[in-house]
Amino acid sequence: MSPEITVLTLSAAAIAFVHTVLGPDHYLPFVAMARARQWTLRKTLRITLWCGVGHLAGSVLLGLLGIALGTQLASLEWLESMRGNLAAWLLIGFGLAYTAWGIRQAYRNRPHTHWHRHDGVSHRHVHTHHGGHAHPHVSPAAGRSVAPWMIFIIFVLGPCEPLIPLLMYPAARESTVGVLAVTAVFGMVTVLTMLVTVALAVKGLENIRLPAFERYAHALAGSTILACGLAIVFLGL
Protein backbone atom coordinates (compact mmCIF):
# COMPACT_ATOMS: atom_id res chain seq x y z
CA MET A 1 0.00 0.00 0.00
CA SER A 2 1.41 3.36 -1.03
CA PRO A 3 2.08 6.12 1.54
CA GLU A 4 -0.69 8.18 -0.04
CA ILE A 5 -3.27 5.41 0.43
CA THR A 6 -2.04 4.83 3.98
CA VAL A 7 -2.60 8.51 4.80
CA LEU A 8 -6.03 8.46 3.12
CA THR A 9 -7.01 5.31 5.04
CA LEU A 10 -6.07 6.86 8.38
CA SER A 11 -7.86 10.04 7.37
CA ALA A 12 -10.94 7.99 6.46
CA ALA A 13 -11.05 6.52 9.97
CA ALA A 14 -10.66 9.93 11.63
CA ILE A 15 -13.17 11.69 9.34
CA ALA A 16 -15.73 8.89 9.75
CA PHE A 17 -15.50 9.09 13.54
CA VAL A 18 -15.76 12.87 13.72
CA HIS A 19 -18.47 13.02 11.05
CA THR A 20 -20.59 10.50 12.97
CA VAL A 21 -20.11 11.95 16.45
CA LEU A 22 -20.78 15.51 15.31
CA GLY A 23 -23.90 14.45 13.41
CA PRO A 24 -26.60 13.81 16.04
CA ASP A 25 -28.88 12.41 13.35
CA HIS A 26 -26.56 9.36 13.28
CA TYR A 27 -27.62 8.22 16.76
CA LEU A 28 -30.23 10.39 18.53
CA PRO A 29 -33.22 9.14 16.47
CA PHE A 30 -32.39 5.53 17.42
CA VAL A 31 -31.94 6.35 21.10
CA ALA A 32 -35.19 8.36 21.20
CA MET A 33 -37.21 5.70 19.37
CA ALA A 34 -35.75 2.91 21.52
CA ARG A 35 -36.80 4.73 24.68
CA ALA A 36 -40.27 5.64 23.42
CA ARG A 37 -41.10 2.26 21.88
CA GLN A 38 -39.26 0.23 24.55
CA TRP A 39 -37.06 -1.59 22.06
CA THR A 40 -34.53 -4.03 23.44
CA LEU A 41 -30.88 -3.10 23.02
CA ARG A 42 -30.49 -5.92 20.52
CA LYS A 43 -33.35 -4.65 18.36
CA THR A 44 -32.10 -1.07 18.60
CA LEU A 45 -28.62 -2.05 17.46
CA ARG A 46 -30.01 -4.19 14.65
CA ILE A 47 -32.03 -1.26 13.31
CA THR A 48 -29.04 1.06 13.75
CA LEU A 49 -26.82 -1.37 11.84
CA TRP A 50 -29.16 -1.65 8.87
CA CYS A 51 -29.69 2.11 8.74
CA GLY A 52 -25.94 2.69 8.92
CA VAL A 53 -25.29 0.27 6.06
CA GLY A 54 -28.05 1.87 4.01
CA HIS A 55 -26.67 5.32 4.79
CA LEU A 56 -23.29 4.33 3.37
CA ALA A 57 -24.50 2.26 0.43
CA GLY A 58 -25.99 5.16 -1.53
CA SER A 59 -22.85 7.31 -1.38
CA VAL A 60 -20.53 4.37 -2.06
CA LEU A 61 -22.46 3.28 -5.14
CA LEU A 62 -22.67 6.85 -6.41
CA GLY A 63 -18.95 7.39 -5.84
CA LEU A 64 -17.98 4.14 -7.59
CA LEU A 65 -20.28 4.96 -10.50
CA GLY A 66 -18.80 8.44 -10.77
CA ILE A 67 -15.26 7.04 -10.77
CA ALA A 68 -16.13 4.40 -13.39
CA LEU A 69 -17.80 6.93 -15.69
CA GLY A 70 -15.33 9.72 -15.06
CA THR A 71 -18.10 12.01 -13.82
CA GLN A 72 -16.98 15.47 -12.79
CA LEU A 73 -16.78 15.95 -9.03
CA ALA A 74 -18.94 19.09 -9.14
CA SER A 75 -21.90 17.20 -10.58
CA LEU A 76 -21.69 14.52 -7.88
CA GLU A 77 -21.45 17.12 -5.14
CA TRP A 78 -24.63 18.73 -6.46
CA LEU A 79 -26.40 15.37 -6.43
CA GLU A 80 -25.15 14.56 -2.92
CA SER A 81 -26.30 17.98 -1.71
CA MET A 82 -29.75 17.40 -3.20
CA ARG A 83 -29.95 13.99 -1.50
CA GLY A 84 -28.88 15.55 1.77
CA ASN A 85 -31.57 18.24 1.62
CA LEU A 86 -34.23 15.68 0.73
CA ALA A 87 -33.23 13.41 3.63
CA ALA A 88 -33.18 16.35 6.07
CA TRP A 89 -36.66 17.52 5.09
CA LEU A 90 -37.98 13.96 5.27
CA LEU A 91 -36.51 13.75 8.77
CA ILE A 92 -38.29 16.99 9.66
CA GLY A 93 -41.57 15.72 8.21
CA PHE A 94 -41.32 12.40 10.02
CA GLY A 95 -40.41 14.19 13.26
CA LEU A 96 -43.40 16.51 12.97
CA ALA A 97 -45.79 13.66 12.21
CA TYR A 98 -44.45 11.51 15.03
CA THR A 99 -44.58 14.41 17.48
CA ALA A 100 -48.21 15.09 16.60
CA TRP A 101 -49.05 11.40 17.00
CA GLY A 102 -47.19 11.32 20.31
CA ILE A 103 -49.11 14.33 21.63
CA ARG A 104 -52.36 12.63 20.65
CA GLN A 105 -51.28 9.45 22.47
CA ALA A 106 -50.31 11.47 25.55
CA TYR A 107 -53.71 13.20 25.56
CA ARG A 108 -55.55 9.89 25.26
CA ASN A 109 -53.39 8.43 28.02
CA ARG A 110 -53.89 11.26 30.50
CA PRO A 111 -54.67 10.06 34.05
CA HIS A 112 -58.21 10.55 35.29
CA THR A 113 -60.17 9.69 38.42
CA HIS A 114 -63.21 7.50 39.01
CA TRP A 115 -65.08 7.52 42.33
CA HIS A 116 -66.46 4.25 43.66
CA ARG A 117 -68.67 3.47 46.62
CA HIS A 118 -68.50 0.12 48.36
CA ASP A 119 -70.29 -0.72 51.61
CA GLY A 120 -70.93 2.93 52.29
CA VAL A 121 -67.27 3.90 51.79
CA SER A 122 -66.25 6.12 48.87
CA HIS A 123 -62.82 5.89 47.31
CA ARG A 124 -61.29 7.04 44.08
CA HIS A 125 -59.41 5.13 41.42
CA VAL A 126 -56.88 6.91 39.20
CA HIS A 127 -55.89 5.22 35.96
CA THR A 128 -55.28 5.63 32.24
CA HIS A 129 -56.88 3.77 29.36
CA HIS A 130 -53.80 3.30 27.18
CA GLY A 131 -50.84 2.77 29.47
CA GLY A 132 -49.71 0.06 31.82
CA HIS A 133 -52.16 -2.57 30.58
CA ALA A 134 -50.93 -5.65 28.78
CA HIS A 135 -53.13 -7.29 26.18
CA PRO A 136 -51.70 -10.73 25.38
CA HIS A 137 -54.50 -11.51 22.96
CA VAL A 138 -53.34 -8.86 20.52
CA SER A 139 -51.65 -10.30 17.45
CA PRO A 140 -47.89 -9.66 17.27
CA ALA A 141 -48.43 -8.12 13.85
CA ALA A 142 -50.52 -5.39 15.43
CA GLY A 143 -47.49 -4.19 17.36
CA ARG A 144 -45.36 -3.72 14.28
CA SER A 145 -44.42 -0.19 13.41
CA VAL A 146 -43.51 1.59 10.21
CA ALA A 147 -41.17 3.86 12.18
CA PRO A 148 -38.01 1.73 11.65
CA TRP A 149 -38.74 1.55 7.92
CA MET A 150 -39.21 5.32 7.72
CA ILE A 151 -35.89 5.91 9.45
CA PHE A 152 -34.21 3.35 7.18
CA ILE A 153 -35.52 5.04 4.03
CA ILE A 154 -34.39 8.44 5.27
CA PHE A 155 -30.92 7.09 6.05
CA VAL A 156 -30.62 5.47 2.63
CA LEU A 157 -31.39 8.82 1.02
CA GLY A 158 -28.99 10.68 3.30
CA PRO A 159 -25.45 11.02 1.89
CA CYS A 160 -22.09 10.63 3.62
CA GLU A 161 -20.87 14.05 2.54
CA PRO A 162 -17.10 13.65 3.11
CA LEU A 163 -16.78 10.22 1.49
CA ILE A 164 -16.73 11.02 -2.23
CA PRO A 165 -14.84 14.34 -2.49
CA LEU A 166 -12.37 13.89 0.38
CA LEU A 167 -11.62 10.17 0.20
CA MET A 168 -12.87 8.18 -2.79
CA TYR A 169 -11.72 10.56 -5.52
CA PRO A 170 -8.20 11.10 -4.13
CA ALA A 171 -7.85 7.34 -3.62
CA ALA A 172 -9.02 6.69 -7.18
CA ARG A 173 -5.99 8.62 -8.47
CA GLU A 174 -3.76 6.01 -6.83
CA SER A 175 -5.41 2.61 -7.35
CA THR A 176 -8.62 0.61 -7.27
CA VAL A 177 -7.39 -1.22 -4.19
CA GLY A 178 -6.93 2.16 -2.52
CA VAL A 179 -10.53 3.12 -3.24
CA LEU A 180 -11.79 -0.13 -1.73
CA ALA A 181 -9.55 0.21 1.34
CA VAL A 182 -10.54 3.81 2.03
CA THR A 183 -14.23 3.08 1.49
CA ALA A 184 -14.16 -0.01 3.70
CA VAL A 185 -12.42 1.79 6.56
CA PHE A 186 -14.76 4.77 6.36
CA GLY A 187 -17.80 2.48 6.36
CA MET A 188 -16.68 0.27 9.22
CA VAL A 189 -15.70 3.17 11.47
CA THR A 190 -18.95 5.02 10.71
CA VAL A 191 -21.19 2.04 11.51
CA LEU A 192 -19.13 1.01 14.54
CA THR A 193 -19.26 4.55 15.95
CA MET A 194 -23.03 4.63 15.45
CA LEU A 195 -23.46 1.28 17.23
CA VAL A 196 -21.21 2.16 20.17
CA THR A 197 -22.76 5.61 20.63
CA VAL A 198 -26.31 4.25 20.51
CA ALA A 199 -25.47 1.37 22.88
CA LEU A 200 -23.85 3.69 25.43
CA ALA A 201 -26.76 6.13 25.30
CA VAL A 202 -29.44 3.44 25.59
CA LYS A 203 -27.68 1.74 28.52
CA GLY A 204 -27.08 5.08 30.18
CA LEU A 205 -30.76 5.98 30.02
CA GLU A 206 -31.99 2.62 31.35
CA ASN A 207 -31.82 3.68 35.00
CA ILE A 208 -33.32 7.12 34.44
CA ARG A 209 -37.04 7.04 35.22
CA LEU A 210 -39.24 10.11 34.95
CA PRO A 211 -42.81 8.83 35.52
CA ALA A 212 -44.37 12.24 34.92
CA PHE A 213 -42.97 12.30 31.39
CA GLU A 214 -43.51 8.66 30.41
CA ARG A 215 -46.75 9.31 28.58
CA TYR A 216 -44.96 11.99 26.54
CA ALA A 217 -42.24 9.56 25.42
CA HIS A 218 -43.46 9.38 21.81
CA ALA A 219 -43.88 13.16 21.57
CA LEU A 220 -40.37 13.67 22.95
CA ALA A 221 -38.97 11.11 20.48
CA GLY A 222 -40.67 12.92 17.61
CA SER A 223 -39.35 16.25 18.84
CA THR A 224 -35.82 14.82 18.99
CA ILE A 225 -36.05 13.59 15.40
CA LEU A 226 -37.50 16.94 14.34
CA ALA A 227 -34.63 18.78 16.06
CA CYS A 228 -32.09 16.60 14.21
CA GLY A 229 -33.67 17.46 10.87
CA LEU A 230 -33.76 21.17 11.69
CA ALA A 231 -30.12 21.07 12.82
CA ILE A 232 -29.11 19.57 9.46
CA VAL A 233 -31.03 22.15 7.43
CA PHE A 234 -30.28 25.29 9.40
CA LEU A 235 -27.02 24.51 11.22
CA GLY A 236 -25.39 22.31 8.60
CA LEU A 237 -24.71 19.45 11.05
DSSP state of 22: T
CB 214 within 8 A of CB 22: no
C-alpha dihedral (108, 109, 112, 115), degrees to nearest 10: 100
Pure H helices in the chain: 3-21, 28-37, 41-69, 73-108, 147-157, 169-172, 176-205, 217-235
Cα(3)–Cα(15) distance, integer angstroms:
18
Cα(57)–Cα(76) distance, integer angstroms:
15
Domain residue extents for the chain: 3-108+152-235
Per-residue tens of pLDDT for the chain, all 237 residues:
678 888 989 999 999 999 899 988 899 999 999 998 989 999 999 999 999 999 898 888 887 877 777 766 556 677 777 888 888 899 999 999 999 998 988 887 765 454 455 555 555 544 454 444 333 333 333 335 778 888 888 888 887 777 777 777 777 787 888 888 888 999 999 999 999 999 999 998 887 776 666 778 899 999 999 999 898 888 876
* Pairing relationship of beta strands 112-118 and 121-127 according to DSSP bridges: antiparallel
Partners of 115 in the beta sheet?
124
Rg of the chain in Å (alpha carbons): 23
CB 153 within 8 A of CB 83: no
Question: Considering the entire predicted model, what is its pTM?
Answer: 0.78
How many C-beta atoms lie closer than 10 Å to residue 213's C-beta?
11
